[in-house]
Amino acid sequence: MNRVQWVAGHFEEVLGAVLLSAMACLAFANVVTRYLFHFPLAFTEEIEVNSLVWLTMLGTSAAFRKGCHLRMLFIYDKFSPLLQKIVDQFISILSFGLFSVLGILGYRQLLDERFLEITSESLNFPQWIYTICIPAGCILILIRIVQSGYLSLRGGVR
């Protein structure tokens, strides 16, 4: 497998690692300026909090890709392979519904924020720039749910 295929297959982990590194650098810069220069960089908290939403969406997507989402494995492992496939498909359908609704509601919130011209508190950015992570993340999660459900149906390793 070449590097491009690996990055495409592990998109969430790569982007999450870059985002987490940037968040750590911002937090470190904030601590240094606060305690050495007595000049806190308050705007970094806005960026970090909104980046955490992106990390949550990326982590959820990666969990579905790997088949590591929450489920009751104690009970699940006692099922026959056929019943496990049925349960996997049921979980995929319910998850697809949940993240579809969340994505639609996030998109509606984004439209409201654009219409009302809501801006962020520290940087005065349009708030919809931060909110876009919800529908975008949900689309990525939906793709991974379909991939995971398909692999489960084929009997492949999740």
63/12 Cα distance (integer angstroms): 10
Whole-prediction pTM value? 0.86
Residue 43 — very low, low, confident or very high, per pLDDT cuts 50/70/90? confident
- Mean pLDDT to the nearest integer, 19-46: 90
Least-confidence region, from 62-71, 91-100, 116-125, 141-150: 62-71
Q: How confident is the model at residue 156 (pLDDT cuts 50, 70, 90)?
A: low
Q: What is the CB neighbour count within 10 angstroms for residue 24? A: 11
| Phi then psi dihedrals of residue 126, to 5 deg | -60, 130
The distance of Cα 29 from the centroid of its chain, to the nearest Å, equals 25
Please answer whether residues 129 and 47 qualify as being in contact, where contact means their C-beta atoms are separated by less than 8 angstroms.
no
Number of CB atoms found within 10 A of residue 142's CB: 18
For the residues 120-140, what does the mean pLDDT come to? 93
pLDDT score at 77: 85
Q: What is the mean pLDDT of residues 72-88?
A: 85
97-108: average pLDDT: 97
Distance, CA of 39 to CA of 50 (rounded, Å):
22
CB of 141 closer than 8 Å to CB of 129: no
**Closest among 120, 20, 15, 105 to 65, alpha carbons compared:** 15
